[in-house]
Structure 1
Amino acid sequence: MIVGIDLGTTHSLVGIYGDTGSQLFPNALGDVLTPSVVSVDESGVLVGQPARERLISHPQRTVANFKRWMGSSRETRLGDRSFRPEELSAMVLRSLVADAEAALGEPVREAVISVPAYFSDAQRKATRTAGELAGLKVERLVNEPTAAALAYGLQDREGEGRFLVFDLGGGTFDVSILELFDGVVEVHASTGDNYLGGEDFLDVMVEAFARDHALTLRDLAAHELAQLRRRLEQAKRSLGQDGSAAIEVSLQGRALEWRIDEARFSSLGEPLVQRMRAPVERALRDARLQPGQLDEIVLVGGASRMPQVARLVSRMFGRLPLRHVNPDQAVALGATVAAGLKARDERLEEIILTDVCPYTLGTQVSRREDNGQVRNGYFHPIIPRNSTVPVSREDDFYPMTAEQKQVRIDVYQGESPMVANNIKLGELNVPIAGHAAPEQRGVTVRFTYDVNGLLQVEVREHATGKVHELVLEQNPGLLGADEIRERLAALQALKVHPREQQENLQALARAERLYEEYLAQRTLLQEWIARFRSVLESQDTDLVDTHRRQLHQAMDELEAQA
């Protein structure tokens, strides 16, 4: 059984391609969206909504948005230990797998996981490592816009067509242009911005609030900042429906009120909206298409609900985009289709899916200028961006001087003519046979980029035929095999709260969050928490269920009155 997983910045989802098509599995709280949040308490690890509630009450023990750190060596301290982004992602994956196993009644060991189309080599390798740490064999990484196209059933449309998928999630932005013909889904171009998403629009709201109230954000306590972001997130979500929103929040002993309308929000977010233009225009150029040559525009990603996003797309393409699939679920639904393809589901056997390499991959070279001076630092492309994958390309390189004893192959990804502006993936030093003829003193460098977006580099000596394989030792974002084993053992030793306790944990976490937020009701909330903890100790399932429903009802009323 191969599941499809959308490992998102804000939310994550899991499902399969079954008898009735794509099916998403609910978590223990009955929701198919599981917040990508991890928290550590005195007795174990919480994931999802219970953890999200603790962002305010326990900010030093809770973390979100760690997908943006994938591929880096950044560590986050929660409780008495630190976690890398791969480990935090692995805990989310483990929670999703538990939900899938509860729904299927059988173990889940294989998965297709979606990644942003513009994820780098290191970020993709980190995602595979996260799957490995979660006990999964990652059968394929599928680009999110490609998955979204599969979710829309574009592969089932009769005839041919060209489609642009505009994917704005919580933390990343991707654009892909696909062509469909004879059961083939072929990606022609993918671009994007790994640091542009709904969280950035929330950031500009936070900054505007701080300016309006003469606040210095760095002076706020962690729980105060988390509380402010939560209230503003709620306001952002209601803007599209109501046209305006108001919040009240207590910060640094001050009761503060703030109102924002859709017009001001659009003004605040305009620089971010304009940043979306460049990737769209680049994708069109790379695909050699004009906007009028596209048959449909597909809008996905939770942040695409913002009115200014639809307005941008309508202005750029002169038409309304497709939005009939839930934008929060589109990528996950497509990931299940990709899982079905991988599992060779007979209903999908006529579909062929191709993708592209979103970055140019190459090496550093030196050039001899007209005055005889040797200048280093030039980028030499080997695999151009938007080459159809899998792809393998090679080129020959020679030493600059007869005295050279070795050549260094530096591997870079990027679009700048100078390597200083690109991302270095690694390097390999290869010896040169000093006695060989000049034409035998070179090397052949081969880059191979596979369907998962992972790069392999081989260097062959002309003189000896010996082949060297590149190990990306210089990338601090990658874990070695030994370290993966060590961290896997450490994660397995962590206690994870049982799935059947999630509803009770979420109720307690919500009550503790409200205790943090509502000063005037603290005595009442403390009584509710103590009473519910007492009921939990009784281990009477019916009594616990009754009290939990009553507690949620009381908290709903409290928040509605506030």
Structure 2
Amino acid sequence: MAVYGIDLGTTYSCIAYVDDVGRPTVLRNLEGTDTTPSVVFFESPDNVVVGATAKDSAVIEPDLVVSRIKRDMGQDVPRIRHGRPYTPEEISAFILRKLADDARTATGETVDDVVITVPAYFGAAERDATRKAGQIAGLNVIDIVSEPIAAAITYGVLNPDKDHTILVYDLGGGTFDTTVITLQGGNIEVICTDGDHELGGADWDDRLVEHLAERFQAEHPDAGSPLLDKQSEQQLRRDAEELKKTLSSRTQHVVRVVHEGRVATVELTREELTELTRDLLDRTIEITRRTMETAASKGVEAYDHLVLVGGSTKMPAVTETLQKEFQLTPRLQDPDLAVAKGAALYAFEETYRRLLLSGERDQAEDMAARAGLSADQQDQIAARTIKTVASRAFGIIVTDKENRRRSVEHLVHANDPLPAAVTQDFYTIDAGQTGVNIEVMEQAGTVESDEPEDNGQIAEGVLKIPPGKPAGWPIEVTFALDTSGLLQVTSRERETGEELELRVQIGGMSEEDVAESRAALSRVQVS
């Protein structure tokens, strides 16, 4: 039984599995490349195109193309195409279906069981939305795992002979994370993590797009801005991405900007790109430094390696700046594919362990035999532990009895070990209350704050209170955050035993909505 790891990226995605000699292997798509652009072209209501062709179509029919949808995960921001609103989960599901279908073509086996990766700094909302996207795509999502953990698994397999403390710097197409991880005896422990899921290589592209448009207008001041024409803008975006990639290997490059029949020839050097985007790189350095300070407070003072993950780490300025700021020599760790490979290894190992725990030893042994694992390797997999931490703080809204000020009381804090289960009593503030509104909040800013506006609501419900109760009547609230970062909240009124269970629900998609979307989108052709 094959299981798969999927790196569902902002700009590119890929899928991997463990082959018959135990190696994590990325499966190429039908176009013959390891990675697939995370771009969806709604050619018609019944036909959707994903990948390179969709990316090309953005130049001609930009209104029918959706890209960077990962940045909308966990938000209620549907995109309307051909008169139908599509949620971020549904659009991501099309990308997942493309990956699964191409993998089936490559292996001859149907893709069912998968692990999907997410940025370490994704909160409960985004993680839940990612799980639902997998379900809509018709996949059995074994687990949601953080990208740095997946990268660390790949690193550990490639460097098995000694213990390491590593700092993972993960700059992808649309998100950025830094994570401190220890590898000891094959076990993985996340010490702390930090990041910004609105910062990535796409922001470097945006900066280049603006620069190219400005240079065009400087040369042709009587022409309109290329950014006001959707087709010209999309072509600029393609040119900017290629320019950024080219300047990773060359020191200068020339781009022709074409708009309204006019042409501007723009030459850009690697140094100019670095200056144009210096503030973006500085933001990653600030977050990295903050992560290292948190790690120091937990006893981590030295690092064996600084591991670079994510395609955007190929920019020379990243390596140069990190080495200068932290006196660590960065190591490129298969930046485009390490996460998918690690997810495949995680999926394999997790499935193997679950088979053993459920008493299905024959299936587990068959799985190990197909992968060519030795008895020692099987024992190591069975014994391996992975410990992680909360990426953000979670709490509920409380109201002060005296001044009626609303604030957030956090029950789980960023970088608390997972799984976390916290129970705390709260109290009514008025006599005769018939219910209390439970508002579950998640840290939205870079630091924990009790101000409601610095947090985002991710769940809400009303717990009934028996009539005639005095002010100060106790309410029990329990937060349970699992190792995947998925949250469940339960509140209970002790006298009656009345319970309110709140599952984090994103974008208005209930489990029933997910089932309906899965049925509806299964009738859409994806290519």
Residue 309 of structure 1 aligns with which residue?
318
Give, in whole Å, the separation in 2 of the partners of 1:165 and 1:471: 31
| Correspondence for 2:452 among 415, 419, 442 | 419
Give, in whole Å, the separation in 2 of the partners of 1:330 and 1:146: 10
SS at the partner of 2:174?
coil
SS at the partner of 1:349?
helix
Is 1:10 the equivalent of 2:11? Answer: yes
Residue 232 of structure 2 aligns with which residue?
224
| Correspondence for 1:239 among 243, 247, 254 | 247
Q: Report if aligned partners of 1:432, 1:442 keep a CA contact under 8 Å in 2.
A: no
Deviations 1:193-231 (A, max 9, x none): 011000001111111222233376575321111111111
Residue 67 of structure 2 aligns with which residue?
64
| Correspondence for 2:517 among 470, 487, 504 | 487
Equivalent runs, 1:255-334 vs 2, <5 Å: 255-288=263-296, 293-323=302-332, 325-334=333-342
Residue 346 of structure 2 aligns with which residue?
338
User: Displacement of 1:381 after TM fit?
Assistant: 1.2
Q: Report if aligned partners of 1:340, 1:348 keep a CA contact under 8 Å in 2.
A: no
Give, in whole Å, the separation in 2 of the partners of 1:154 and 1:219: 46
| Correspondence for 2:167 among 147, 164, 183 | 164
Q: Report if aligned partners of 1:155, 1:180 keep a CA contact under 8 Å in 2.
A: no
* Distance 1:241-1:395 versus aligned 2 partners, 3 A rule: same
Give, in whole Å, the separation in 1 of the partners of 2:474 and 2:226: 55
Letter in 1 for 2:56: E
Q: Report if aligned partners of 1:202, 1:232 keep a CA contact under 8 Å in 2.
A: yes
User: Displacement of 1:257 after TM fit?
Assistant: 1.2
TM-score with structure 2 setting the length: 0.88
Residue 30 of structure 1 aligns with which residue?
32
User: Displacement of 1:380 after TM fit?
Assistant: 0.9
Give, in whole Å, the separation in 2 of the partners of 1:127 and 1:218: 35
Give, in whole Å, the separation in 1 of the partners of 2:330 and 2:249: 18
C-alpha RMSD over aligned residues: 2.1
SS at the partner of 2:405?
strand
| Correspondence for 1:460 among 474, 477, 492 | 492
User: Displacement of 1:267 after TM fit?
Assistant: 1.0
Is 1:176 the equivalent of 2:205? Answer: no
Residue 363 of structure 2 aligns with which residue?
none
Give, in whole Å, the separation in 2 of the partners of 1:375 and 1:387: 30
Give, in whole Å, the separation in 1 of the partners of 2:83 and 2:58: 17
Residue 451 of structure 1 aligns with which residue?
483
SS at the partner of 1:343?
helix
Give, in whole Å, the separation in 1 of the partners of 2:323 and 2:469: 63
Is 1:404 the equivalent of 2:433? Answer: yes
Is 1:204 the equivalent of 2:207? Answer: yes
Q: Report if aligned partners of 2:119, 2:177 keep a CA contact under 8 Å in 1.
A: yes
* Distance 1:436-1:74 versus aligned 2 partners, 3 A rule: closer
User: Displacement of 1:391 after TM fit?
Assistant: 1.3
Give, in whole Å, the separation in 1 of the partners of 2:192 and 2:157: 17
Equivalent runs, 1:35-50 vs 2, <5 Å: 35-42=37-44, 44-50=47-53
| More displaced stretch, 7-16 vs 54-63 | 54-63
Q: Report if aligned partners of 2:431, 2:470 keep a CA contact under 8 Å in 1.
A: no
* Distance 1:292-1:262 versus aligned 2 partners, 3 A rule: farther
* Distance 1:50-1:464 versus aligned 2 partners, 3 A rule: same
* Distance 1:467-1:216 versus aligned 2 partners, 3 A rule: farther
Give, in whole Å, the separation in 2 of the partners of 1:78 and 1:203: 24
Q: Specify which structure has the higher proportion of helix.
A: 1
Give, in whole Å, the separation in 2 of the partners of 1:446 and 1:96: 38
Is 1:429 the equivalent of 2:437? Answer: no
Residue 410 of structure 2 aligns with which residue?
381
* Distance 1:436-1:326 versus aligned 2 partners, 3 A rule: same
Is 1:146 the equivalent of 2:149? Answer: yes
User: Displacement of 1:154 after TM fit?
Assistant: 5.9
TM-score with structure 1 setting the length: 0.83
User: Displacement of 1:437 after TM fit?
Assistant: 7.1
Residue 93 of structure 1 aligns with which residue?
96
SS at the partner of 2:249?
helix
User: Displacement of 1:315 after TM fit?
Assistant: 2.2
SS at the partner of 2:439?
strand
Letter in 2 for 1:302: G
User: Displacement of 1:434 after TM fit?
Assistant: 4.7
Q: Report if aligned partners of 1:126, 1:478 keep a CA contact under 8 Å in 2.
A: no
SS at the partner of 1:428?
strand
Give, in whole Å, the separation in 2 of the partners of 1:450 and 1:229: 39
Q: Report if aligned partners of 1:178, 1:187 keep a CA contact under 8 Å in 2.
A: yes
| More displaced stretch, 211-220 vs 304-313 | 211-220
Q: Report if aligned partners of 2:432, 2:468 keep a CA contact under 8 Å in 1.
A: no
SS at the partner of 2:248?
helix
* Distance 1:216-1:355 versus aligned 2 partners, 3 A rule: farther
Is 1:250 the equivalent of 2:258? Answer: yes
Letter in 2 for 1:87: E
Give, in whole Å, the separation in 2 of the partners of 1:110 and 1:461: 39
Residue 393 of structure 2 aligns with which residue?
360
- Name structure 2 gaps, 5 residues minimum: 218-222, 353-367, 369-377
Deviations 1:5-40 (A, max 9, x none): 101111111111232320111111221111111113
Is 1:51 the equivalent of 2:54? Answer: yes
User: Displacement of 1:462 after TM fit?
Assistant: 2.8
* Distance 1:175-1:222 versus aligned 2 partners, 3 A rule: same
Give, in whole Å, the separation in 2 of the partners of 1:79 and 1:434: 51
Give, in whole Å, the separation in 2 of the partners of 1:348 and 1:471: 32
Q: Report if aligned partners of 1:122, 1:478 keep a CA contact under 8 Å in 2.
A: no
SS at the partner of 2:410?
strand
User: Displacement of 1:190 after TM fit?
Assistant: 1.4
